[in-house]
Amino acid sequence: MSTMRWRGTLIYTGTVAAIGAAGIARFVVTPDAAPATASGIGTSDGQSSSSSSGTSSGSGSSGSSSSGSSGSSATDTTGGGTTTSDSVTVVGSVASTRYGNVQVSVTFQGSTITDVQTLQAPDRERESQQISARSVPVLAQEVLDAQSAQVDTVSGATYTSEGYRESVQSAIDQRG
């Protein structure tokens, strides 16, 4: 048992030095991109897959019918082509989110849903009764002008990436 008594502590000390160096390299040396806002987290802009495969509505702006929907016109599963399949009831497994369980059973006749039963759902209905008591209009005319910076967020129709940039919401987000 005559190995170095302090070898373990020495390795620990070296590791702590390495951790410190990593911290300095990461946080001090690398330029800091986004300054943290003073109040809480501020807004994080998550563009979900805006670059991928044309999900932005550039292709869908001619929203009407045919153009842009690639390849699906060929297969029309709703056309009743499927013959007499008996009705099938599928019980979904419990969507086990920690935020509530959701379980639905769905009865299909062919490809048409003929019945739906909700077996479990996070109980949101209760809130809607309380909501009307809490929605309060803010009426002053000057508030309706966006320049007055009194609005926390904006509800509008689905944004395209371009529309978003121009929108008020974007201004709010940047303001933090």
Partner 1 sequence: MTTLTQDAGLHVPVVTRPAPRRRFPAATCAVLAGTLAVLAFWWFGTPAATGSTPGGALSALGELAGLLASFLVCVQLLLVARVPWFETAVGQDRLVSWHRTLGTTVVLLVLTHVLLMIVGGALLDSLTPWAEVPNALARQPYLWSAVIGTALFVLVGLSSARGARAHLSYEAWFALHLTTYVAIYLAFAHQVVGGTHFVTALLARTVWVLLYAATAGAILTWRVALPLLAHRQHQLRVAAVVPEGRGLTSIWLEGRDVAALAAQGGQFFLVRFLTRGHWGTAHPYSLSMVPTAGHLRFTVGALGDHSSAVPHLRPGTRVLVEGPYGRFTAQRATAPKVLLVAGGAGVGPIRALAEDLLRAGHDLVVLHRAHDAESLALAAEFTPSAALRYVPLPGRRADLGHDPLHPSTLRHLVPDVAERDVFVCGPDGMIAAVVGAARSLGVPAGAIHREELT
Partner 2 sequence: MGIPMSVDVPAPPDRRCAELAVRTAFSRLRDADRRFSRFVPDSEVRRFDAGELRHEDLSPDLTEVLALADRAGKASGGAFSVRRPDGTLDTDGVVKGWAAQRAADVLIAAEVGAFCLNAGGDVVTRGEPVPGRGWRVGVRDPWDAHRFLAVVEQRDGAVATSGTYERGAHVWDGRTGATASGLASATVLAGDLVTADVLATSVLALGADGVAWASGHGASAVLAVTDDGRVLGDRAGLRLLGRPTAE
Distance CA 169, CA 51 (A): 20
3 vs 83, beta carbon nearer partner 1: 3
Residue 22 contact among partner 1, partner 2, none, beta carbon within 5 to 8 Å by kind: partner 1
Question: Environment class of residue 167 by beta-carbon count within 10 Å: exposed (0-12), middle (13-18) or buried (19+)?
Answer: middle
Residue 62, interface with partner 2 (CB under 8 A)?
yes
- CB atoms inside a 10 Å sphere around CB 12: 11
Phi-psi region of 49 (alpha: psi -120 to 50; beta: other; left: phi over 0): left
- Render the burial of 16-45: b for 16+ CB within 10 Å, e for the rest: eeeeeeeeeeeeeeeeeeeeeeeeeeeeee
Residue 83, interface with partner 2 (CB under 8 A)?
no
Quick one: which of 17, 36, 88, 149 contacts partner 1 (CB under 8 A)? 36
Residue 47, interface with partner 1 (CB under 8 A)?
no
Distance CA 81, CA 111 (A): 10
State the amino acid at position 142 in one-letter form: E
Residue 157, interface with partner 2 (CB under 8 A)?
yes
Residue 61, interface with partner 2 (CB under 8 A)?
yes
Residue 156 contact among partner 2, partner 1, none, beta carbon within 5 to 8 Å by kind: partner 2
Residue 100, interface with partner 1 (CB under 8 A)?
no
Residue 22, interface with partner 1 (CB under 8 A)?
yes
Residue 84, interface with partner 2 (CB under 8 A)?
no
Q: Which stretch binds partner 1 (CB under 8 A): 23-31, 99-107, 147-155, 160-168?
A: 23-31
